[in-house]
Each structure stands twice: as structure tokens, then as C-alpha cells.
Structure 1
Amino acid sequence: MSDFRPPSGFEDVLRPPVDLRRARLTPAVLGRMRGAGYGEAAVRFERVARRVPEVMVKITGRTRDGAHLGAHLAYISRNGALALEGPDGERLDRAGVRNLADDWAAERAMERGRRRDAPASLSVVLSMPAGTDPGRLHDAARAFAGEAFGDRFPYVFALHDEGRHPHVHLTVRMLGRDGERLNPRKADLQLWRERFAHALRERSVEAEATPRRARGVTRKAERTPVRKLRERFEAGRGAAPRVLQDAVRDASEKDPSAAPWLAALRARRERIVRALSAEAVRLGLSAKSEDRRTAEKVVDFLKALPPVETRREAIQRRLEIPERKRRPPDDGRSR
């Protein structure tokens, strides 16, 4: 891949949408994680073109008090059926989980200047698509947690492997050992994604942590609570979530073409396609077979890009389907 030249536009699309300098991590940890998360430009370009699986690092919630913390730890440990692992490799049984919840709650209660609503712990899920080796995923999560939180913030984690979609539940105490409170920003989440992807690659699991736009994805992923409410509604077991009702009403009343950001989304997609198309042509003319294979992967990647579509447009498209079905077929007699 010595002939590789990072295409203009592709470098821009790989750049995270947040300023990594805004992360709340300490400078030493921040610098170490940033350096570990990036590979050679040619290697990363090739991984994106092959649509290597993307890691998911998602904050799923915060526990409010000792009782809530205890219930959450009981959930991720399957009521003691799974041992929770700590920073030093210690494994907690059911009694150990109860003692840990009591200890963390006591530490929280003694915190000076604590706000009454200050959370006790942060809940994070680390996952990859179905088919990822659970053991390597678990090992990568162990390495990630140790580097991200080290001895500053106590944590425990457990692997959930029901045979379909292995993932790791990581619970971190919000109160650090030196009195610092864990308060991650979006930049921290991006750094965590990059570090987790790097840990997986070190264990021979292909993984990436690119922004959505690098994969041709326009819309944000649906939040888990909203998805569960929507699925219950679609199954006839509950009402439609309010956010979905508001989105449908908004889509039925407004013209999506008037949204100023839609033109920007399409212009950015055009820049990406032009840059990658030019690089595919150049690599396709290379004398090296590996460059030509990469060019073919880039072409396949471009062909598979989904259309630029906002959530409002997607809802409008769904709303138009029943109306189309009600229309009589045009047999040409009305002309």
C-alpha cells in the first residue's frame, strides 16, 4: 500500500464530530488513549472500505442511590449467577456484589458537598455485532476498562453471552478515589470507542470506531428506551412513545426540503463520493495487486452507501405507503 495517498475529504470524514480536547479525562490518560486509537491512514482506509464492524460504547444510565445501584448490580450479575470482575481481577459472588453496593453507597453518602441527586455509578455497555468471539470481547473490555479508569474510578464488569449478541456491562463508580467525579463528555465517548476498537484489534478482532458519516449513515441511532417502547407499540402491547408521535406529527406538517441541514448533508456526501471515487480510480491503475483489490472494495463500498435521508424524510416515506395502496392503478384510460 505504499502508493496510498489519503484522499482529501476522507481525512475530513474520519475526523470525529467533537473536539477530543474537550474530553474530561486527565491529560496523561487522554494522550495515551488518543495515540493508541489511530492506525496508519492506509490501513484505516482499507478497514472502512471493507466495512469492518464498528464498536459500540454506550452510556445506558446512571444509578440514583444505593438501592438502585444494588438492583443494577444484581441485574448485570444475573442475581449472582455471573461473577462480577473488578480492576484487580477479583471476582465477586452474590454476597460480594451486595457488599460492593453497600460500600459504594456509603462512599457516596460521605462525599463532601455532594448534590442530593448526584448519581452513584455510570452504566456502560461495550458491544460488537453478533458473531464476535465472546472471550476476546471480554478480554478487550478488561483491557479497555483498566486503561480508561485504572485505579482512579472503581469499576466492575460482566459478560452477557446468550449466544446471539455478546456484550459487556461495565459499571463505574462516579466518585473517584481522589474525590474527582466522573463526568464524561461526547469527546470521552469517542476516545473510549477508539480505545475499545484498538483493544479488540490487538486480540485479532477486526473493529473500527469511525463517525457515522464515514459509513454513509445519516441518522442517529434510536435510543434504547425509545426503541423498546416503539417495539412494544408495534407489537400491540402499548402506546406509541411521545417522541415518535411528535416526529410523525412534525413530518406530516413540514417540508423536509426546507431544512437547511439537508443540503449540507448531501453536499458532504458528494464530497466523500468524489474523493473516494478518485482514489478508487488511482488505486485501480496501480501496478500492485493489493492496491487494485482495495480499489474494488472502495467501489463496492460506494455502491452500498445508503441514500441521504433524514428521520423526517423516512417517516414521510412510510406515511405515503398507505396512501399509495389506496390509489387505483393507472391503466392509462384517464389520459
Structure 2
Amino acid sequence: MPFGEREDELWEAMKPRFKPRIVGDPNARYAKSIVNGIGAFAPRHNVAPTASAVRATLARVVHRTPEVLVKVTGRKKGAKHLAAHLDYIGRHGDIAIETRDGERITSKDDAHQIADEWSDPLYWRQGTSVSAVAMVFSMPAGTNPDKVRESVREAAERLIGDNHDYVLALHTDTPRPHVHLTVQAEGMDRKRFDPRREDLFRFREAFAEALRSRGVEAEATPRYTRGQGRAGTSMALTQLRARIRNGASRQPTNADLRQAREAMQIALGKAQQPALATKTRARWQDTKRRYEAAADRLDRTGNREDRQLAGDVRKFVQERAGIETVPDMMLRDAEKRVRDAQDRARTDPQPDRGVPRGTPPPPTRRR
């Protein structure tokens, strides 16, 4: 069977499909189309991919092409909150902030004026209404920073357009060049900018395509496509864990404590693993099956490059026999602690049960 006849099945394994969540039903006549993703509400991924696009994406995945990172870092409420954020991304005037029209702002007064213009003019609502959404676009170390900035601007022009105002700032003070994109929450059509999972993935795809058009290898695929089961963490949780590692705080985060307690209950046989871990492993097995089928079809094309890619696909699958999620990692650590406790109980002498618990030891004699 030629490789080009089964692209849809492989494409679904490399590019996720989303269904919009219905929070209201303004017009019941369109509800079925919205839920089923048909008609005017059909997602872009329903378009049949070409054989060359599928082959190129598969090659980038198995060759470990760097993945782009796009995430929402926060929502700025009110002029003061937004002004403080603009001061941060502009390093208090040391880094130029670029507007949607390409103007470079280095003055704090000009940045604060933007914050006032974007915020709610009703002073009693400045602390509650969202004025802007802060996003960050990042690439691995060694990537050309100017190309990263240009790619972010192209992605913003493509997906945001002129409906929302936005500013961006390039940071190169870390090994990973990254761009802070701040988007005005309220658009010209009075609709709010509120990116969700599907929107963030579209930003990732647009960012990766813009980078590739500038000669930078980049890809945007889900974690399970690459055999990775650990999700990223929020910025707040990352900062809390950094404080603990640096010794600034000794209090573990609530999320880590909860995961540790759940893992210990599973290790002791008092609970079951969450459905998330089981579903993730099942999805990875299905993805592996599609990769292996794609490798077989590539072998049958008779093309030397296709056969080489088929070998790379099989090697990629063999190196990732399983997938480990965060619950799996926590469970492995909990099981190790249980085994260590059982070993200590077998080797250490049992304490005298006639002595009440909490009784202090007798004083030692001094010579």
C-alpha cells in the first residue's frame, strides 16, 4: 500500500483534535454543528493532509526536532498590574518594547500610558477586570534571537491581527531566547482575548511554521506524540519549587504533598492509579501502532529516503517502549520508600512494646 493513502490516521497521532466547549447555547440550531465540528465550525485539522506534510512532520518528530514553547504566564488586572508587567518585560527601560505597529518604546511613561489605555476606565473596576493577557514564546538555547522575535510577530499578525492591540519584548538574559507577548484583553469587536488549549496549540503551530520559514528547525506536537508523559507545570508552581530548592522556603507545595499522599496510598494497596495514567499509556500504545504501520508503508514505497525514515521511526519507537507520567514517577518513589521501610523492619530489632510510646530514653551514665 503506498504511503500516501493512510495519512489521516497517522496525522491524528501527531496533531491533536479539539472540540469546543459549550458554555451556553445562544442559538440551538447551530449546537449540533458546534459539537460535531462540522460545517462552518469544522476545525482546521479536518482538512486532509498531504503525504509530503505527514512525512515531513514524522521526520521532525523522530529526529527530535526542537519543540516550540508557548504558554500563558498570567492575566493582568487593572492599570497598575499591567504597568508593573510592562516594566518587567521592558526591564524598566533597558529593553525596548515593540508595539503592534513596530514602534519601539523605551520610556516607562509611554509604557504606563499603554497600561492606562488598555485598562478599564471605570476606576472601581480596575482591580477586577482583566486588562491584558501575558504570553511567552520560547526556543532552546542557540536559536537566533532575532528570528525568534520575527517569528513571534508573524504568528501574532496571523492569529491576532488588528482586532487586539499587543506589545512584545525579546529577552536574551537566559540561555533560552524568549519573547514576552502581551495582548490587550478587549478587542475592537468587544470580544475578549482568552486563549484556551486549542488556541495555544494554534499559536505553537504558527510559531513553528514561522521559524521553519526562516531556516530554524522547529515543530509543534503534543507530548504523547514524542513518547513523553510528564506535563509542564504552572509558572507559580515552578517558582515555589525553585524557592524550596534554593532554601528560601522549607514548606512543600500543596500539589507535591497531595501527589505524594496519593502515591503512598497506591503503593500500600489502598487506592488505584488515576485514570489519567492508564489513558496516557493506552494512547501511547495506539500512537506506537500507528508509527509502526507508517514504517511498514514507507518500506513498501521502494524509495531509499523512505526506507531510511522507516528505520528511524522503528528506532524511535524501540527507544520508547513505555511512557512515564507524573503519577507513575511519584508511585515509583513511594514504592521505594515502602520497600526500604519493610527492609528496615526485617533487619532492625523490634522495640520493646512494653514501654509506652513517647517515653524518653533512660539517661546514660557518665564516667
TM-score computed with the length of structure 1 as normaliser: 0.84
In the alignment, residue 253 of structure 2 is paired with which amino acid?
P
- In the alignment, the residues of structure 1 paired with residue 46 and residue 135 of structure 2 have an alpha-carbon distance, to the nearest angstrom, of 20
Given the alignment of the two structures, is residue 197 of structure 1 paired with residue 212 of structure 2, yes or no? no
- Report the more deviating stretch, 147-156 or 7-16: 7-16
Shift of 1:168: 0.2
- In the alignment, the residues of structure 2 paired with residue 260 and residue 225 of structure 1 have an alpha-carbon distance, to the nearest angstrom, of 26
Given the alignment of the two structures, is residue 136 of structure 1 paired with residue 147 of structure 2, yes or no? yes
Shift of 1:311: 1.7
Given the alignment of the two structures, is residue 104 of structure 1 paired with residue 115 of structure 2, yes or no? no
| Structure 2 contact 10–54 (Cα < 8 Å) conserved | no
| Cα deviations by residue, 1:206-252 (Å, 9 ceiling, x for unpaired) | 11111221111223212221122123223332121111111111111
In structure 2, the CA distance between the partners of 1:314 and 1:21, relative to structure 1 (3 Å rule), is: closer
Given the alignment of the two structures, is residue 208 of structure 1 paired with residue 219 of structure 2, yes or no? yes
How many residues are paired up?
Answer: 320
Q: Which residues of 2 match residues 247-266 of structure 1 at below 5 A?
A: 247-254=259-266, 258-266=273-281
- In the alignment, the residues of structure 1 paired with residue 46 and residue 162 of structure 2 have an alpha-carbon distance, to the nearest angstrom, of 19
Higher relative contact order (CA 8 A, sep 6+): 1
| Structure 1 contact 20–188 (Cα < 8 Å) conserved | no
User: Which has the higher Rg, Structure 1 or Structure 2?
Assistant: 2
- In the alignment, the residues of structure 1 paired with residue 95 and residue 46 of structure 2 have an alpha-carbon distance, to the nearest angstrom, of 33
Corresponding residue number in structure 1 for 2:30: none
Q: Which residues of 2 match residues 5-154 of structure 1 at below 5 A?
A: 6=6, 9-19=9-19, 40-94=53-107, 95-105=109-119, 108-109=120-121, 117-154=128-165
Shift of 1:21: 9.3
Shift of 1:166: 0.3
Shift of 1:14: 2.2
Q: Secondary structure at the match of 1:109?
A: coil
- In the alignment, the residues of structure 2 paired with residue 177 and residue 67 of structure 1 have an alpha-carbon distance, to the nearest angstrom, of 22
- In the alignment, the residues of structure 1 paired with residue 321 and residue 244 of structure 2 have an alpha-carbon distance, to the nearest angstrom, of 27
Q: Give 5+ residue unaligned stretches, structure 2.
A: 23-33, 347-367
| Structure 2 contact 78–127 (Cα < 8 Å) conserved | no
- In the alignment, the residues of structure 1 paired with residue 313 and residue 92 of structure 2 have an alpha-carbon distance, to the nearest angstrom, of 47
Q: Secondary structure at the match of 2:71?
A: strand
In structure 2, the CA distance between the partners of 1:233 and 1:34, relative to structure 1 (3 Å rule), is: farther
- In the alignment, the residues of structure 2 paired with residue 281 and residue 34 of structure 1 have an alpha-carbon distance, to the nearest angstrom, of 25
- Report the more deviating stretch, 39-48 or 162-171: 39-48
In the alignment, residue 247 of structure 1 is paired with which amino acid?
Q
Shift of 1:110: 5.1
- In the alignment, the residues of structure 2 paired with residue 229 and residue 62 of structure 1 have an alpha-carbon distance, to the nearest angstrom, of 19
| Cα deviations by residue, 1:245-292 (Å, 9 ceiling, x for unpaired) | 111111111357544444433332222222222332443455322112
Corresponding residue number in structure 1 for 2:171: 160
Q: Give 5+ residue unaligned stretches, structure 1.
A: 331-335
Corresponding residue number in structure 2 for 1:333: none
In structure 2, the CA distance between the partners of 1:33 and 1:74, relative to structure 1 (3 Å rule), is: farther
TM-score computed with the length of structure 2 as normaliser: 0.77
Corresponding residue number in structure 2 for 1:245: 257
Which residue of the other structure, out of 283, 288, 298, is the alignment partner of 2:303?
Answer: 288
| Structure 2 contact 78–126 (Cα < 8 Å) conserved | no
